[in-house]
Chain A
């Protein structure tokens, strides 16, 4: 082994703690990239494979009742590769141990063979015997939530008739990856189940023999989805068809897409920030570390080494550290990536999981880290290698200092000499001090970015569940009912307040941009479903005109007072123009809101209701549930408390897990930064500090001088760190905002405090480690060696 390489090894051994701390910072950056991008890619590829293998459809439509004979004509629509028709209807489910009825969607299975599209992945058991009308397959989330196994049974009210059903199979479906019930935003197996039955059984229960109520299409590549949907709509129109929709509006797909988008956006936002921060810090630290080698570099040059050889030597030095960091980061990142992917896959119910280890990612992460480290080393080397060997071996001339305090203040003896040393050290190395403080600000900032989601989610919960939708339960009907149904519901036991709502599907358009949304109409002065504006105050709707989600207004590029085109998609298809009357501050989905009578006029009908929101006397809930179960017109019952609980669970699982992981990585980076900073300061000033010890300063006093600077910079770094963190959180929030979910950025004071506390703890830990070094300062060596 060459002598320089031996030196390299020994240097690494000598500086192992610092090398490890730098490697951890590099590793933190690399791990974030692998984690975020890796888990996104894995889930994306898993979804693609799942969709392909289980033939997830491209276009969907529901219809009241269409004859099977129509299927031939649907198949003839140009571009249609496959057609699958079936019956799909809502049902109330009674499950053991729960008084509140759950909601189910009952789907028919062909008597022979598999469905052409949206095939089932059987987890256990078999498909129902076509001759049995009590055998069902249920989705796994539902089975698990109720601890159902093969052979378990539960009751369902199908079209007003109560039936006992026996589970013969448990399955997953690409249609219900995100199995969310009506009125809910998070999958909840307790409250929602998918039930597959033989076609014969479903048809007879819902009087739909030789007919279908749901059709799915698979399209040939390159086909215009819009064209096919228009043709499909015109075929289904006369049978009570609702407008067809593509995957983009399919609930499960849309939510999954949203979650994957979020992961993708996260992977585009957080890892670059982390990676850049870590690169910056590695750069900073290595440059200072290499500068410390001045004398040795001079010596090696004096011995006849060329600059190139010396540069190579130090590049190797940082190369080894960076490589260690990349290895640590890769191992941790891959592990965290598969862990997170596993959590998501479990949440979404994928039958299998393709965990991709993308080599390009490793190369990118490694490349960027290595580049940053090399630049840092070269920055440190630049000054030194250009010196003549004799000069390099001389102690550097004492650095030039300037006064930082007015002479009068100095003379008054208000500032002690150690304090003065510290202040001048900071003030006379403005660039270094700035970069060091900036490094710590970055550490605080990435912690805030990792932590802010909690406050933001709480705000979402507050607005959604406590300001806007304040009902305890929402009762939905199979068909729209006359508005007076609200009185009927109001008379049910335990109901304190009942407000009907009417919901219609529309396409809303401005120019070329259009979205498919629901318009929900509510009575004037509704107390339960309220419209909340950007100032979080309830808004009274004008007699005509439409209030739309703020997000939708942004997408359509409209403001209050502008007019939008609205295609009514329910019974009578018409296009109308409506003024935008207000913007709604909501965070989940996009919707329109109207006054009940205004919508009725628009639809040219007497006021009708698709459902009723109710507030309940909690002591009489069970009576209410029992009464609802007995109402054949009720298709589903959504419970706000259950919905909130599921939402919180899901947030805890997904958001908190991610946030904890990122916080952990950010904390490692923060520690690496602060520790290295303290440690390099110690090396740079070891001689000065040892001199002070010789002069009679105690260990505590000397440590104080060293750490006061660290403490000062750490504290100075906090407020800019908060601002930076807020800015990064804002970028994250903006990137994560989607049509299905978005948030208003709320960074709680506690978040700032916590982020700073972590950085300060890192500083204290570093101080404790550095204290040992200060205690070991070689006082004797100071007498003999020069600067």
Chain B
């Protein structure tokens, strides 16, 4: 495998919640390689979202180090993190987070306008199979379509990493499969390193690697020797 995209060393995160301390991450060590698809599984509060947030530059670690390639994310201030997100990271949210006042095309253009080397919005939408509906507003799209627009928006700037937090959480099975399909297609065609949080254990079968979280630590890691095709997924 190629050089790691993410390298985490003894990463911890402690929240102060009222009078008690919550240890969300208790020393995570991890490497994720370029082009890898990693699924994070684990119960609520096990630390997977916290890790994703820190990797995405949305949150700060309490201690330890996290590198994006050579960039030490744990040393960046807010401005630095914003610029890191802007250049390198694509996000896909559980609830799509599209801007209702912008069409599918314009939601994608929102990101391409501030990116250094973006693809054209219609290209990104074509990747997720939504070119025919690109001039529709979110209100005119189904949930699955909205999520695919969100994916198009996330990948349009050709990010090196795509971070997805429960991307199928709000979708039914058939639609969920189409969304996963879109993610895999992007990974295959662009080589985008993709990290997916899910509660849906079935999705793990399409990943290169599955990390199980419990109590703020990676309790188990499985590498899939043979990934399943998306078409075979069903839940």
Question: B102 to A398, Cβ gap below 8 A?
Answer: no
**Closest A-chain residue to B115, C-beta based?**
A696
**Closest B-chain residue to A778, C-beta based?**
B58
What is the minimal beta-carbon distance from A699 to any residue of chain B, in angstroms?
7
Question: A698 to B79, Cβ gap below 8 A?
Answer: yes
**Closest A-chain residue to B50, C-beta based?**
A780
Within 8 A of B (CB), among A747-787: 779-780, 782-787
Residues of B within 8 A of A410 (CB): 106
Encoded as 1 (CB less than 8 Å from any B CB) or 0, chain A from 268 to 311 comes to: 00000000000000000000000000000000000000000000
Given A400-B139, A694-B58: A782 in contact with B97 (beta carbons within 8 A): yes
Encoded as 1 (CB less than 8 Å from any A CB) or 0, chain B from 103 to 122 comes to: 10011011101100000000
Question: A695 to B85, Cβ gap below 8 A?
Answer: yes
Given A417-B106, A420-B106, A786-B170: A694 in contact with B100 (beta carbons within 8 A): no
B59 contacts which of A418, A695, A780, A787 (Cβ < 8 Å)? Answer: A780
Question: A417 to B95, Cβ gap below 8 A?
Answer: no
Encoded as 1 (CB less than 8 Å from any B CB) or 0, chain A from 680 to 722 comes to: 0000000110011111111101000000000000000000000
Question: A688 to B99, Cβ gap below 8 A?
Answer: yes
Residues of A within 8 A of B198 (CB): none
Tell me if B89 counts as interface (CB < 8 A to partner A): yes
Question: A401 to B100, Cβ gap below 8 A?
Answer: yes
Given A688-B99, A696-B86, A696-B114: A783 in contact with B53 (beta carbons within 8 A): yes
Tell me if B6 counts as interface (CB < 8 A to partner A): no
Tell me if A424 counts as interface (CB < 8 A to partner B): yes
**Closest B-chain residue to A400, C-beta based?**
B139
Given A398-B98, A698-B79, A698-B82: A417 in contact with B113 (beta carbons within 8 A): yes
Tell me if A388 counts as interface (CB < 8 A to partner B): no
Residues of A within 8 A of B49 (CB): 780, 783-784
Tell me if B158 counts as interface (CB < 8 A to partner A): no
Given A400-B137, A400-B139: A417 in contact with B110 (beta carbons within 8 A): yes
Tell me if A397 counts as interface (CB < 8 A to partner B): yes
B97 contacts which of A399, A424, A691 (Cβ < 8 Å)? Answer: A691
Tell me if B178 counts as interface (CB < 8 A to partner A): no
Tell me if A416 counts as interface (CB < 8 A to partner B): yes
Residues of B within 8 A of A417 (CB): 102, 106-107, 109-110, 113
**Closest B-chain residue to A785, C-beta based?**
B95
What is the minimal beta-carbon distance from B224 to any residue of chain A, in angstroms?
26
Tell me if B214 counts as interface (CB < 8 A to partner A): no
Residues of A within 8 A of B107 (CB): 417
Residues of B within 8 A of A698 (CB): 79, 82-83, 86
Tell me if B94 counts as interface (CB < 8 A to partner A): yes
What is the minimal beta-carbon distance from B119 to any residue of chain A, in angstroms?
15
Residues of A within 8 A of B97 (CB): 687-688, 691, 694, 782
What is the minimal beta-carbon distance from B106 to any residue of chain A, in angstroms?
5
**Closest A-chain residue to B84, C-beta based?**
A696
B139 contacts which of A399, A688, A783 (Cβ < 8 Å)? Answer: A399
Tell me if B213 counts as interface (CB < 8 A to partner A): no
User: With the chains together, A387 CA to B163 CA distance in Å?
Assistant: 36
Residues of B within 8 A of A400 (CB): 137, 139-140
Residues of A within 8 A of B216 (CB): none
Tell me if A421 counts as interface (CB < 8 A to partner B): yes
Encoded as 1 (CB less than 8 Å from any B CB) or 0, chain A from 480 to 509 comes to: 000000000000000000000000000000
Question: B100 to A399, Cβ gap below 8 A?
Answer: yes
Question: B101 to A420, Cβ gap below 8 A?
Answer: yes
Most chain B CB inside 10 Å of its own CB: which residue of A399, A780, A782 = A780
Residues of B within 8 A of A425 (CB): 101
**Closest B-chain residue to A402, C-beta based?**
B137
**Closest B-chain residue to A693, C-beta based?**
B82
Tell me if B56 counts as interface (CB < 8 A to partner A): yes
Residues of B within 8 A of A691 (CB): 93, 97, 99
Question: B153 to A401, Cβ gap below 8 A?
Answer: no
User: With the chains together, A199 CA to B184 CA distance in Å?
Assistant: 114
Residues of B within 8 A of A688 (CB): 97, 99-100
Encoded as 1 (CB less than 8 Å from any A CB) or 0, chain B from 141 to 177 comes to: 0000000000001000000000001000010000000
User: With the chains together, A539 CA to B94 CA distance in Å?
Assistant: 82
Question: B58 to A779, Cβ gap below 8 A?
Answer: yes
User: With the chains together, A780 CA to B50 CA distance in Å?
Assistant: 9
Tell me if A78 counts as interface (CB < 8 A to partner B): no
Given A421-B102, A691-B99: A401 in contact with B137 (beta carbons within 8 A): yes
Question: B101 to A401, Cβ gap below 8 A?
Answer: yes
Question: B94 to A416, Cβ gap below 8 A?
Answer: no
User: With the chains together, A404 CA to B106 CA distance in Å?
Assistant: 13
Question: B91 to A694, Cβ gap below 8 A?
Answer: yes
Tell me if A96 counts as interface (CB < 8 A to partner B): no
User: With the chains together, A784 CA to B94 CA distance in Å?
Assistant: 7
Residues of A within 8 A of B110 (CB): 417-418, 421, 692, 695
User: With the chains together, A403 CA to B85 CA distance in Å?
Assistant: 30
Question: A398 to B82, Cβ gap below 8 A?
Answer: no
Question: A395 to B95, Cβ gap below 8 A?
Answer: yes
Tell me if A428 counts as interface (CB < 8 A to partner B): yes
User: With the chains together, A418 CA to B110 CA distance in Å?
Assistant: 7
B85 contacts which of A420, A687, A696 (Cβ < 8 Å)? Answer: A696
Most chain A CB inside 10 Å of its own CB: which residue of B82, B94, B98, B165 = B82
Tell me if B23 counts as interface (CB < 8 A to partner A): no
Residues of A within 8 A of B103 (CB): 403
What is the minimal beta-carbon distance from B122 to any residue of chain A, in angstroms?
11
Tell me if B47 counts as interface (CB < 8 A to partner A): no
User: With the chains together, A691 CA to B95 CA distance in Å?
Assistant: 11
Question: B139 to A696, Cβ gap below 8 A?
Answer: no
Given A417-B106, A691-B99: A401 in contact with B94 (beta carbons within 8 A): no
**Closest B-chain residue to A689, C-beta based?**
B99
Most chain B CB inside 10 Å of its own CB: which residue of A421, A687, A695, A784 = A695
Encoded as 1 (CB less than 8 Å from any B CB) or 0, chain A from 714 to 739 comes to: 00000000000000000000000000
**Closest A-chain residue to B164, C-beta based?**
A783
Question: B102 to A424, Cβ gap below 8 A?
Answer: yes
**Closest A-chain residue to B92, C-beta based?**
A783
Question: B59 to A786, Cβ gap below 8 A?
Answer: no
Given A421-B99, A783-B91: A398 in contact with B59 (beta carbons within 8 A): no
Encoded as 1 (CB less than 8 Å from any B CB) or 0, chain A from 417 to 431 comes to: 110110011001000
Residues of B within 8 A of A785 (CB): 95
Most chain A CB inside 10 Å of its own CB: which residue of B86, B137, B138 = B137
Please provide the 3 A-B residue pairs with the shortest distance between their CB atoms, ordered closest to farther: A696-B86, A786-B95, A424-B101
Which residues of A line the B interface, CB within 8 A?
395, 397-401, 403, 410, 416-418, 420-421, 424-425, 428, 687-688, 691-699, 701, 779-780, 782-787
Other 11 A-B pairs with CB < 8 A, given A698-B79, A782-B97: A399-B101, A417-B113, A421-B110, A425-B101, A692-B99, A694-B93, A696-B82, A696-B85, A696-B89, A784-B165, A787-B95
For this complex, 18 residue pairs linking A to B, each with C-beta atoms less than 8 Å apart, are A400-B140, A416-B113, A420-B102, A421-B102, A424-B102, A687-B97, A691-B93, A694-B93, A695-B111, A698-B82, A698-B83, A698-B86, A780-B59, A782-B93, A783-B49, A783-B94, A784-B165, A786-B95
